[in-house]
């Protein structure tokens, strides 16, 4: 996350110390292998490196080219950056001969540099090309998608990913406008939404939910999260920690349900002749659920919606 100071944006990583502390980088664990699933501007990665011993190793992932450029400035033989989604974690680690890691950090959602740069097309607050891709080298832009997609699909995306109750009206307005002119800028889309949304939430721009929905869809954020959580668990060593920071309810719901599925194992009917040793066992234990302090939110308002969940893989757990 970033806050504006004069004309420059100063990066502020949400739950920086808390997230790294949750990985328990002490003793022998400081010499382990760790994964930062979303490098962003490197706040978490740099602090992890500060806590690793000389034999430790950190592999970071990011889809954003600017994040990759920032990561390449780190001159540390213990560090490596991968230009891809954390959903590819298993394949990338396997290619490096790594079968297990000691901890994984996933800081979800969109970074402040992406929001604050108008040219990326993520924000309705400044006019810019309607792109919204985290990785501009792959996939189609939001403008290209809106130009051709069926009205029903647009409606479903805005409703399901944005939890927008005016999804029908917004999708209808988008399709009507594109018949007159291409929808190629963030300002155009924001104006279309503003006219279609009749009741506004206090303190929230009417375009907020629509922009969120389209961004999540274009970048396959929820699909990547589900794949990434499974991949992270599969390569996590016994007693390894998984720390996930989410910023909206859809992400947090997926994380919460995934951890619950590993902690609360369904037991068979007690009347069945099954030995205790053969009963299904919990695969993880919950360590913490943490939200930013009032002090952090005051200094960085974008941290207010963050929720960090931490779980640890139990010995003997199956993949």
Confidence check: pLDDT of 278 > 90: no
Question: Which residues have a Cβ under 8 Å from the Cβ of 279 and sit 6 or more positions away?
Answer: 267, 268
With cut-offs at 50, 70 and 90, classify the pLDDT of residue 132: very high
| pLDDT tens sequence across 91-116 | 999 999 999 999 999 999 776 666 66
- Asked if residue 64 belongs to a known ligand binding site, the reply is no
Confidence check: pLDDT of 200 > 60: yes
Structure confidence at residue 9 (pLDDT): 43
With cut-offs at 50, 70 and 90, classify the pLDDT of residue 282: confident
| pLDDT tens sequence across 226-266 | 999 999 999 999 999 999 999 999 999 999 999 999 997 65
- Asked if residue 114 belongs to a known ligand binding site, the reply is yes
- Asked if residue 36 belongs to a known ligand binding site, the reply is no
Confidence check: pLDDT of 213 > 90: yes
Confidence check: pLDDT of 3 > 50: no
- Asked if residue 86 belongs to a known ligand binding site, the reply is yes
Structure confidence at residue 7 (pLDDT): 35
- Asked if residue 139 belongs to a known ligand binding site, the reply is no
With cut-offs at 50, 70 and 90, classify the pLDDT of residue 281: confident
Structure confidence at residue 149 (pLDDT): 98
**pTM for this structure?**
0.89
Structure confidence at residue 125 (pLDDT): 79
Residues of the chain above pLDDT 90, percent: 79
- Asked if residue 31 belongs to a known ligand binding site, the reply is no
Query: For the chain, which residues make up each domain, given as ranges?
Result: 2-112+221-313, 140-218
Judged by average pLDDT, the poorest of 80-94, 121-135, 273-287, 301-315 is 273-287
Q: Which fold has domain 140-218?
A: DNA polymerase; domain 1 (1.10.150)
- Asked if residue 43 belongs to a known ligand binding site, the reply is yes
- The class of domain 2-112+221-313 in CATH terms is alpha beta
| pLDDT tens sequence across 214-223 | 999 999 999 9
């Amino acid at each position: 996350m970033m806050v504006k100071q004069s004309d420059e944006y100063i990066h502020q990583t949400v739950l920086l110390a808390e997230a790294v502390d949750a990985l328990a980088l002490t003793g022998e664990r400081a010499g382990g292998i760790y994964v930062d699933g979303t490098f962003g501007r490197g706040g978490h990665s740099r602090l992890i490196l500060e806590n690793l011993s000389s034999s430790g190793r950190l592999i970071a992932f990011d889809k954003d080219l600017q994040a990759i450029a920032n990561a390449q400035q780190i001159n540390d033989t213990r560090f490596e950056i991968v230009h891809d989604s954390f959903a590819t974690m298993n394949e990338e680690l396997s290619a490096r001969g790594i079968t297990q890691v000691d901890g994984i950090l996933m800081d979800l959602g969109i970074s402040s540099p992406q929001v604050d740069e108008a040219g990326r097309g993520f924000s309705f607050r400044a006019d810019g090309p309607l792109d919204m891709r985290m990785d501009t080298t792959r996939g189609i832009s939001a403008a290209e998608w809106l130009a051709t997609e069926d009205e029903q699909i647009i409606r479903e995306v805005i409703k399901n990913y944005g939890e927008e109750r005016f999804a029908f009206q917004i999708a209808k307005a988008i399709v009507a406008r594109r018949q007159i002119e291409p929808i190629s800028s963030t300002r155009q889309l924001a104006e279309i939404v503003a006219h279609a949304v009749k009741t506004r939430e206090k303190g929230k721009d009417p375009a907020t939910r629509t922009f969120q929905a389209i961004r999540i869809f274009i970048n396959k954020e929820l699909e990547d999260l589900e794949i990434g959580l499974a991949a992270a668990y599969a390569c996590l060593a016994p007693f390894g920690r998984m720390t996930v920071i989410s910023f909206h309810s859809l992400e947090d719901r997926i994380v919460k349900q995934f951890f619950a599925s590993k902690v609360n194992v369904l037991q068979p009917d007690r009347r069945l002749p099954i030995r205790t040793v053969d009963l299904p066992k919990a695969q993880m234990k919950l360590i913490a659920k943490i939200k930013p302090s009032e002090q952090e939110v005051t200094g960085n308002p974008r941290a207010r919606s963050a929720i960090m969940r931490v779980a640890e893989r139990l010995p003997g757990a199956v993949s």
